[in-house]
Chain A
């Protein structure tokens, strides 16, 4: 038995020694990695994970490396993972330097927590950013007055349809709300579900586009932004008016609208099972290549001509972590991302349905994109989208409320009360 004891003790002692050595070596590596962060390539954390768009980002980073001033290393993370992990990235001790994300209130929320790098130097030194529109300028400014964002591209929302299908049904684009209702009637009489939605599956947020548009058409963009910021209530009569309008068109919605995700709704639209769909241009990625030339869109019909014309045109771009150890390199990369050259490289490599923020940059040049550019430029006010104008936390409250509304439109009173209650929890958090 004594034999056992010594054997075991010796073994445990050995284990302990090995463990201590491992811990010590761990400490050594930790200090060295902490210091090396100020040199080397700028890390660009990207949520652009779709294969084609990811390749476009790789082209962009390669082109930046060739310029010779510095290097960037691209790190692509699945969009969903990125969304949930972004707060963790920003608060970590050794964060990535530059991130793809949204300007406006989303970036402002992080800026308020002092997590974003002040990019005032980029905005004051870059000749490109000086030529950016005023709207973009204010969109990238935090409440503190600091510039925290560099915009790169934007896309637009509209009523998309298939040209050949509209020709087959003998209908044309409506201008006013009454025209729009007529169009829906005509399509319905031909056995087509006039309006596709695609708010099922994990894309319930698509329904928020209808809320956004009806609100900016009826109450205006200013009211809409204030509502999302918590300065009005969701159970106010103004919001009730939005849903009264919605109920006028609700019978024309595809009955499967809240059951299928938007990608399946796109297929239904292309096959002519539904007539049109309020969606962003990203949906074109879900269309087969031969259908792309057949896609067209019209403006969400104007309801009250006295309200300044507003459109949804969400901007994508970049911000940087306040804790970066490579400030100078970040400034250099940001200036490059604002150039026409960089935005053209991305648009060329991706599916080309986005528009560049740089006024001198060329777009993809297709008829659809040209029409889209004019469409956005005619608008007096630009909104981003429900989650981008509020926060990712408020979006689920909208999803719940709108899904309930689509299923039981008669209960709108209690739905709005519930929405206000849920939203208050988030505004007050």
Chain B
């Protein structure tokens, strides 16, 4: 009797401990985000007089307007979407086709091709900054959005091929054989059999690549120079002054810049987790 009650008590204590611990951890995670949100609603005079860490004594929505109009975030957000959406579509289309041929057909050198793509991903992008900048200049596309799109596609496609290859390899060969018996060509097999079966992986990758490309700053400032062409990440650091930074406007700008990725995340939340598994298992 007493044994069961102690066991019960212990179980309850463990549950309570788990919830308290997990809750505290979650709060710790949310604290910086909450700080940014609160800061974005304070006035500059309040922050300047009382410091960033003080309890807020003002409330204003002007910061968002200032970031959107004066900070040029409107233009930058359009640029970001102009780069991100085509990049995601083209990379995934190219990667799916490449992965299809590499995984479903006996291509010569397919192992070395895959290893090359994997190896490319292990290369730190920083060492390629100057070559990319000079190359885009010589090709006459420096400081244009297509240059940025091209760079993003070029650097993204290897990883996506690798992941999609792993996924497509797992699709049973019998399905394809049945399609061949029914007289389907490779294009038809790709379009009507393999691609629909790859949809979970594609959804996960599109969500991942959207956030990666949208949040990229390095390539943007490498191949772009005009402020009217800069994406949102570059516009965000543009809000910092030479000496003094208006933290309230920067916080508001960050909230604006984070909105699209948060929306994509909420929409594809399920696939995000699946996407992380994809990379881990294969």
Contacts and interface: CB of A to CB of B under 8 A. Distances in A.
Interface of A: 3-4, 7-8, 11, 26-27, 29-34, 45, 47-51, 53-55, 75-81, 85, 88-89, 92-94, 96, 262-264, 266-268, 270-271, 280, 282-283, 285-291
Contacts of A55: 70
Given A75-B227, A266-B48, A283 B244 contact: yes
Interface in B172-197: 185-187
B241 A288 contact: no
B49 A291 contact: yes
B133 to A, nearest CB: 6
A113 B51 CA distance: 44
Nearest to B71: A51
B257 to A, nearest CB: 14
A288 B142 contact: no
23 contacts: A3-B185, A29-B140, A30-B139, A47-B242, A51-B66, A51-B70, A51-B239, A75-B225, A78-B238, A78-B240, A79-B240, A79-B241, A85-B221, A89-B225, A93-B137, A93-B138, A96-B225, A264-B51, A280-B243, A282-B243, A285-B241, A287-B48, A288-B49
Contacts of B219: none
A282 B242 contact: yes
B237 interface: yes
Contacts of A30: 138-141
A165 B225 CA distance: 46
A239 B270 CA distance: 63
Contact of A50 (B46, B130, B242): B242
A282 B51 CA distance: 18
Nearest to B51: A267
A81 B241 contact: no
Contacts of A263: 244-245
Contacts of B44: 288
A16 to B, nearest CB: 14
Interface in B37-86: 44-46, 48-52, 66, 70-71
Contacts of A282: 242-244
Given A77-B227, A264-B51, A26 B140 contact: yes
Contact of B186 (A8, A27, A286): A8
Contact of A49 (B49, B51, B239): B239
Nearest to B139: A26
B49 A271 contact: yes
Contacts of A4: 105, 185-186
Contacts of B140: 26-27, 29-34
Interface in B230-262: 234, 237-246, 249
A83 B68 CA distance: 25
Contacts of B225: 45, 75, 77, 89, 96
A285 B51 CA distance: 14
Contacts of B52: 264
B226 interface: yes
Nearest to A31: B140
A286 B244 contact: yes
Top 7 A-B pairs ranked by shortest CB distance? A30-B140, A50-B241, A288-B45, A79-B242, A285-B244, A282-B243, A78-B238
Contacts of B249: 51
Contacts of A48: 242
Contacts of A285: 241, 243-244
Contacts of B237: 78, 80-81
Contacts of B137: 92-94
A280 B244 CA distance: 12
A372 B66 CA distance: 31
B240 A49 contact: yes
Given A7-B185, A26-B139, A288-B44, A80 B49 contact: no
A267 B238 CA distance: 23
A81 B222 CA distance: 10
Given A75-B226, A92-B142, A289-B45, A53 B241 contact: yes
Nearest to A261: B245
Contacts of A33: 140
A283 B252 CA distance: 22
Contacts of A76: 227, 238
Contacts of B187: 7, 11
A206 to B, nearest CB: 10
B48 A81 contact: no
A51 B67 CA distance: 9
A420 B246 CA distance: 37
Nearest to A93: B137
B135 to A, nearest CB: 11
A267 B48 contact: yes
A262 B51 CA distance: 12
A270 B244 contact: no
A51 B66 CA distance: 9
Nearest to B45: A288
B49 A50 contact: no
A55 B221 CA distance: 22
A315 B150 CA distance: 41
B200 to A, nearest CB: 26
Contacts of B130: 88
A93 B137 CA distance: 7
A32 B227 CA distance: 22
Given A92-B137, A263-B245, A78 B70 contact: no
Contacts of B138: 30, 93
Nearest to A8: B186
